[in-house]
């Protein structure tokens, strides 16, 4: 079993829709949770970074962490065609040096 599971999609939504992206994990030692966005032929870029459980909002993006369920989510409000990309979740254990990534969900926002 992989430590981090993520539905690869692909996911297609109309412009303006609310998008929900999710990851589950198996190791309760994960404490730091991140979402990266990766455009085609580019390196990932950090979107959201949260510690432990709770919500974090940044513009149209909201990250949620539910440690009791071992489940994290990224919500995108008022989705735009420029949001079309692959979204990767990542997480790290306290004191550890490496990140564990999900396989990514490919999102297309249709104008």
- Catalog residues that contact other proteins under the rule CB under 8 A: 4, 6, 8, 32, 41-46, 49, 88, 90, 97-99, 101-104
Strand 19-25 relative to strand 71-76, pairing: antiparallel
- What's the CA gap between 79 and 28, in Å, rounded? 32
Q: Does residue 43 come out as left (phi exceeding 0), alpha (psi in the -120 to 50 range) or beta?
A: beta
Task: Please name which of 20, 8, 17, 32 lies closest in space to residue 62, comparing C-alpha atoms.
Answer: 20
Based on CB atoms, which residue is closest to other proteins, 95 or 111? 95
Based on CB atoms, which residue is closest to other proteins, 32 or 75? 32
Contact 10, 108 (CB under 8 A): yes
Give me the least distance between CB of 3 and other proteins, in Å please.
10
Based on CB atoms, which residue is closest to other proteins, 6 or 79? 6
Give me the least distance between CB of 96 and other proteins, in Å please.
8
Give me the least distance between CB of 102 and other proteins, in Å please.
6
């Amino acid at each position: 079993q992989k430590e981090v599971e993520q539905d690869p999609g692909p996911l297609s939504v109309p412009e303006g829709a609310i998008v929900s992206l999710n990851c589950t994990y198996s190791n309760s030692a994960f404490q730091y949770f991140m979402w990266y966005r990766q455009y085609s032929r580019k390196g990932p870029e950090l979107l959201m970074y949260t510690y432990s459980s709770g919500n974090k909002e940044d513009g149209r993006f909201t990250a949620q962490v539910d440690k009791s369920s071992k489940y994290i989510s990224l919500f995108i409000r008022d989705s735009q065609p420029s949001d079309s990309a692959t979204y990767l979740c990542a997480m790290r254990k306290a004191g550890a040096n490496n990140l564990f990534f999900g396989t990514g969900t490919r999102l297309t926002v249709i104008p």
